[in-house]
Amino acid sequence: MARKLGELARYLGARLVGDADAEVSALATIQGAGPGTLSFVANPKYQAHLDGTRATAVIITEALLPRCPCNALVVDNPYLAYAKVSHLFDRAPKPAPGVHPSAVVDPGARLGTGVHVGPLAVIEAGAEIGDGAVIGAQCFVGADTRIGAGAVLWPNVTIYHGVTVGQRTIIHAGVVVGADGFGFAPSRGKWEKIAQVGGVVIGDDVEIGALTTIDRGAIGDTVIGNGVILDDQVHIAHNVSVGDYTAMAGKAGISGSTTVGKHCLISGMAGLVGHIDICDNVQISGMTVVSRSITEPGVYTSGTGMEPHASWTKNAARFRQLDAMARRLADLEKRLNQLERPAEDAGE
Amino acid sequence: MARKLGELARYLGARLVGDADAEVSALATIQGAGPGTLSFVANPKYQAHLDGTRATAVIITEALLPRCPCNALVVDNPYLAYAKVSHLFDRAPKPAPGVHPSAVVDPGARLGTGVHVGPLAVIEAGAEIGDGAVIGAQCFVGADTRIGAGAVLWPNVTIYHGVTVGQRTIIHAGVVVGADGFGFAPSRGKWEKIAQVGGVVIGDDVEIGALTTIDRGAIGDTVIGNGVILDDQVHIAHNVSVGDYTAMAGKAGISGSTTVGKHCLISGMAGLVGHIDICDNVQISGMTVVSRSITEPGVYTSGTGMEPHASWTKNAARFRQLDAMARRLADLEKRLNQLERPAEDAGE
Amino acid sequence: MARKLGELARYLGARLVGDADAEVSALATIQGAGPGTLSFVANPKYQAHLDGTRATAVIITEALLPRCPCNALVVDNPYLAYAKVSHLFDRAPKPAPGVHPSAVVDPGARLGTGVHVGPLAVIEAGAEIGDGAVIGAQCFVGADTRIGAGAVLWPNVTIYHGVTVGQRTIIHAGVVVGADGFGFAPSRGKWEKIAQVGGVVIGDDVEIGALTTIDRGAIGDTVIGNGVILDDQVHIAHNVSVGDYTAMAGKAGISGSTTVGKHCLISGMAGLVGHIDICDNVQISGMTVVSRSITEPGVYTSGTGMEPHASWTKNAARFRQLDAMARRLADLEKRLNQLERPAEDAGE
C-alpha cells in the first residue's frame, strides 16, 4: 500500500513541499504518527502536535507550512483532502465479481455485469442487482427489490421485497430495510394489523450504518434522499421522508409520516414524533424530543444538563413544583408592587 | 389484484353506495388517490381531501356520504375497515409449504404440516414448528424451541433454545429472542456471569418489529402476552412481563423484572427501570424515564419541551439553580409577609 | 442435571447444613421454589420468603441460618455463589468441536483445536479462530480477524475484517463488530466518506449483548477492555475506548473518540457525546446525556422526573420561562432589600 508523495499530490491536486519520491504506507493521527505514515491537521486544537510530529508527510493548509517539520501536501481543506486520500489506505477486502456457489439466487433475479454475490446470500425472484454491486455474505434481497449499480451491501443485510436502493449506496451489516411499519387499528381492545403495502426508496450515494431499520410505507413509500448519511441503530418509521444530504447520528429515530428537510443534522438518540415537518438546515441536539414541526433553520434542544446526582435530585424535585413557583413569583410581584406604591405616592 | 366493489362490500360488511362492478387494484391516501384505487377517510383532518378525490372508491362513515364524489363503502369504523381490506392488496410474497434444500434442519426437529422453511435457515434438534408456520430465509431456531401454528418469521430472525412463540405471531427480520439477560454478580471489581437458565414465552397474535431484542429469563421466563405489538428496536430485558395487547413504539425499552399491565401504550424511546410494576391502561410519553411503579391508569411524562438552543442553554443553566431558587422564593415570601404585617396592623 | 448437595458444597466451598445426598435439579427464585430446586437469598427484601420456601436447598449467609426451613449452603456472598452454581443448571446446548459441512471456511483461515463452526457460518481468508472457540450458526468472521481461545459467538454475529476478539469473550446474536465509523467530511453541502482504516480490539472475558454495534476506528482502533460487559443494543462509535470491567446497560451509547474509565456503570439509554473523557468509577443514570468530561468519581444525572402528563405540561411550559423567572426573582430580592432598608434604618 506504499504511495509516493508525488503521486498523492497529483491525486489530491495538492502542492507538494518536500520529497516527491518519499513513500507513505499508512495513515496516522498527528500525535500518533511515525515514519512512513501520512497525517493531517484539520482541527486547530491539534496544531500544537505538528511541531513534533514524526510523520513522513502531513496534509496542511498554507498557513501551517512555516512550522511543518516534514514533507507537506498543501491544500485549502485538509480534512476533505484526508477524506479523499483515506480510501487509498483502506485494507477492507474488495470482493471480486462472481456469484459464490453457496448463494441461493432465484433464476428469476437479474444480475448486472461485475456483480459480486457472497457466500450464503439469498436473492429472490424479480430482484435486480445493478452493475458492479456487491451483495455481501448471508445478505437477503427480497422479491422485486432493485439494488443500484455500484451499491455495496455488507454481510447479513436484509432487504425485503419491493425496495429500491440507489447507486453507490453503502449498507452496513445487520441493516433491515422494508420491514412492516408499525400500523395497527384499535378494535375492541385489540390491534388489527394494517398491511404495509408501500415500499422504500433509498437514493444514490447514501450510507446506512449497522443495525439501522427503515420500514416500508403503509401506503406509498418511505423515502431516503440522495447523499443521506445514517449512523448505526437509527430507526426510520413508515412513510418518513428524509431530505438530501441530511445526517442522522447513532440511535436517532423518526416516527411515522414525518418529513425532514435537506442538509439537516440530527444528533444521536434524538427522537422526532410522527406527522410533523422539519424544514431544511435544521440541527437537533442529542437526545432531544422533537415534538412539533420546525419552520425556521437553527439549532433545537430539549432536556436538562448533567449534574451530580445529589444536586440533580433536589432540582428535579423542584421541577415538579415549577408551575406553582411561577404563580408564587407572580403573586410576590403583585404584592411588592402594592407595598411599593404608597412609598412612591409618598415620594410625589 | 383487482377487486370488485361488491366483493369488498361483502368482505367488510359495508353498505355500498355506487357501482358494485367497479374495480380497484391498489390502496391510496385520500389526497394521493387516482383512478382504480381504494381510499378511506378516518381522520377528520383529511375530510377536506374527500371533495376532490380521484379515488374510484372510498371507505367512509355515513356522515361523510353527502360530500362523497365517488363510490363509497359505508362503515362505522373506516380505519378498522381499511385495516381489514388492506391485506387484500398486499404484494408481500406468500411462501409456499416446503423445506428449501439449502436449509439445515436437524432430524430431531419436528415440522407440522404446510410449514415453509426458507433457504439457509437452521432448525436445531428438538425444535417444533407448528402447522403452516413460515421460517424465513437464514433464520435460526434453537434447540427445543417451539414456534406456534401459523407464525411467521421473516428472514434473519434468531431464536435461541428453549423459547416458545405463540400462534400467528409475526416476527420481523433481525429480531433476537432468548439471548442471555444482563445478569452478573460483582466480585472483587470483576463481573461473574450468571447463567440465564429461564426461557421466553411469547403469546399468540403478537407482532415484533425488526431488530427487537427479548432476553431469556435468569430464572423463570420472560413473558410477552397475547396480542402485544412491539415496534422496531424495542428491548425487553430478562424476566420482564408485558401484558396482553400492550403496544410499545420504536426503541422503547424495559429493564429486568419489570411488569407492564395490559392495554398500555409505551411511546418511542421511553425507558422503564427494573423491578417496578405498571398497572393496566397506562400511557407513557416518548422518551420518558419511568423510574417508579405506576398504580393509576393515565398518561405519564418526563423531560422538557424542545426550544431554540440559545434559550434552552439559559433555561437549562437555571435548572441547576432550581432548588436554590425555590428556597430564595420561600425566603422572599417570608420577608414580604413580615413587611405586610405592620401595614395590615395599621389598617385595623 | 441432578446434583447432590454435598457436591455443590464442595464446588462452592460452602458449609452444608443438611443432607449431603439430597438432590436438586433446577434453580428457582425463593418465592417460586418447589421440591427439587435450589434457591438463594441475596437481597434482604426477599428474606421474608425464606420462612415458607419449598426449596430443597438454599444458598444463604450464616445470619439467615436460624430461620432456614430446609437444607442450607452457607456462604459469605450468596449472590456470587448463585452466579457460580448457575452454570451447572444451564440447559444451553454445548456445541461439539467440528466444522459443519455447510459452513464456508476459506482455506486461508486458521482454526485452532477443538473449534466449533456452526452451519452456514462464513470465515474469510486470514481469519484465526483460537482453540475451543465456538463460531455459531450463520456467523460471519471477516478477513484477518482473530477470535480468541474459548470465545463464543452465538448465531448470526457479524465481525468485519481486521478485528481482534479476546479469549473467553461471549458475543450474542446479531452483534456487529467492525462496521465503518460515522466519519464524513463536509464538502459543498455533500458528505465525503472517510475510509475507516482502523480496527476494533476487544479484550478477554468480555460479554456483548444481542444487537450491539461496535464500530471500527477511523485511524487506530476502537478498544473494549478486559471484563467489560455490554447489554443489548449498546452502540460504541469509532475510536471509543471503554476501560476494564465497565458495564453498560441496554441501549446506552458512546459517541466517537470518547474514553470511558475502568469500573464505570453506564445505565440504560444513557448517551455520551464525542471527544470527552470519563474517569474511573463513574456511574451514569439512565437516559442521561453526558455532555462533558467527568474527572471525579460519582453518580451523574440529567433529565427530569416522571409525573402525570397534565402537571408535566404546566411545569414544562414554565421551564421555557426559567431564565426569565430567575431574573424576576433577583429583581424582587433587590426591591425587597430596598423596602426593608428604611425599616431597618428606622429601627436604628
Would the pLDDT of C230 be above 50?
A: yes
Beta A298-301 vs B307-308: how paired, if at all? antiparallel
Run of H or E including A309: helix A309-319
Exposure class string for C283-298: b at 16+ Cβ within 10 A, else e:
bbbbbbbbbeebeeee
Taking CB atoms and an 8 Å cutoff, what residues of chain C touch A151? none
Least CA distance to B288: which residue of chain A? A289
> Residue A116 pLDDT more than 50?
yes
Written as nine digits, the cell of C89 is 443448571
The confidence score (pLDDT) of residue B343 equals: 54
Q: Is the pTM of this model over 0.90?
A: yes
pLDDT of residue B340: 85
Q: How confident is the model at residue A347 (pLDDT cuts 50, 70, 90)?
A: very low
Confirm if A157 and B137 have CB atoms less than 8 A apart: no
How many C-beta atoms surround the C-beta of residue B38 within 10 A?
Answer: 27
User: Between B344 and A39, where is the model more confident?
Assistant: A39
What's the confidence (pLDDT) of residue C104?
A: 98
Q: Give the active site residue among B238, B263, B275, B309.
A: B238
Residue B340, judged by CB atoms within 10 A of its CB (0-12, 13-18, 19+), counts as middle
Q: What is the pLDDT of residues A25-82, one digit of tens each?
A: 999 999 999 999 999 999 888 999 999 999 999 999 999 999 999 999 999 999 999 9
Provide the β-strand partners of residue C227.
none
> CATH homologous superfamily of domain B98-300?
Hexapeptide repeat proteins (2.160.10.10)
- Summarised one tens digit per residue, pLDDT across range B214-265 is 999 999 999 999 999 999 999 999 999 999 999 999 999 999 999 999 999 9
Better-scored residue on pLDDT, B270 or C348: B270
> Are C182 and A84 an interchain contact pair (Cβ–Cβ within 8 Å)?
no
Q: Name all chains with 3 or more CB-CB pairs below 8 Å to chain A.
A: B, C
Residue C342, pLDDT score: 64
H helices of chain B, where? 5-12, 78-86, 309-319, 322-347
* pLDDT over threshold 90, residue B341: no
Tens digit of each residue's pLDDT (9 = 90 or more) over A332-344: 999 999 988 865 5
Measured between CA atoms, the residue of chain B closest to residue C37 is B219
Shortest Cα–Cα distance, A173 to chain C (Å):
7
Q: What is the mean pLDDT of chain A?
A: 96
Domains of chain C, residue spans: 3-89, 98-300, 309-347
pLDDT at C125: 98
Window C:179-238, CB contacts with B under 8 Å: 205, 207, 209-211, 227, 229, 231-233
Q: Has the ipTM of the complex gone over 0.90?
A: yes
Q: In chain C, which residue ranges form alpha helices assigned H by DSSP?
A: 5-12, 78-86, 309-319, 322-347
pLDDT band for B344, please (50, 70, 90 cuts): low
Q: Please indicate whether, in this complex, the C-beta atoms of B182 and C27 are within 8 angstroms of each other.
A: no
User: How many angstroms separate the CA of residue A217 from the nearest CA in chain B?
Assistant: 11
Whether residue A201 has pLDDT greater than 90 = yes
Torsions phi, psi for B71 (to 5 deg): -60, 145
What percent of chain A lies above the pLDDT cut of 70? 98
pLDDT tens digits, one per residue of C77-116: 999 999 999 999 999 999 999 999 999 999 999 999 999 9
Q: If you average pLDDT over residues A186-214, what whole number do you get? A: 98
- Inform me whether the pLDDT recorded for B142 exceeds 80: yes
**Residue ranges of B 236-265 with Cβ closer than 8 A to chain A:** 245, 247, 249-251, 263
Given this model, what pLDDT does residue C343 score?
54
A319 reaches B (C-beta below 8 A): yes
Question: For the segment C125-179, what is each residue's pLDDT rounded down to a tens digit?
Answer: 999 999 999 999 999 999 999 999 999 999 999 999 999 999 999 999 999 999 9
C31 touches chain A (CB under 8 A): no
Chain C neighbors of A264, CB-CB under 8 A: none
pLDDT in tens, A121-176: 999 999 999 999 999 999 999 999 999 999 999 999 999 999 999 999 999 999 99
Q: What is the pLDDT of residue C45?
A: 86
Cβ-based contacts of C320 with chain B (< 8 Å): 305, 307, 311, 315
pLDDT of residue B45: 86
Tell whether C347 lies on the interface with B, counting CB pairs under 8 A.
no
Question: Average of pLDDT values for B35-54?
Answer: 94
Which of the pair, B340 or C177, is modelled with greater confidence?
Answer: C177
Which of these is catalytic: C161, C235, C238, C309?
Answer: C238
What is the pLDDT at residue C348?
41
Distances (CA, A) of A183 to A255, B110, B247, C198: 11, 33, 11, 41
Does the pLDDT of residue B348 top 50, yes or no? no
Q: In whole numbers, what is the pLDDT of chain B averaged over residues?
A: 96
CATH homologous superfamily of B3-89 equals MurE/MurF, N-terminal domain (3.40.1390.10)
> What would the mean pLDDT of B178-193 be, rounded to a whole number?
97
Residue B100 is among the residues annotated as catalytic for this protein: no
At A348 the pLDDT is: 41
| Mean pLDDT, all residues of chain C | 96
The percentage of chain B sitting over the pLDDT mark of 90, rounded to a whole number, equals 95
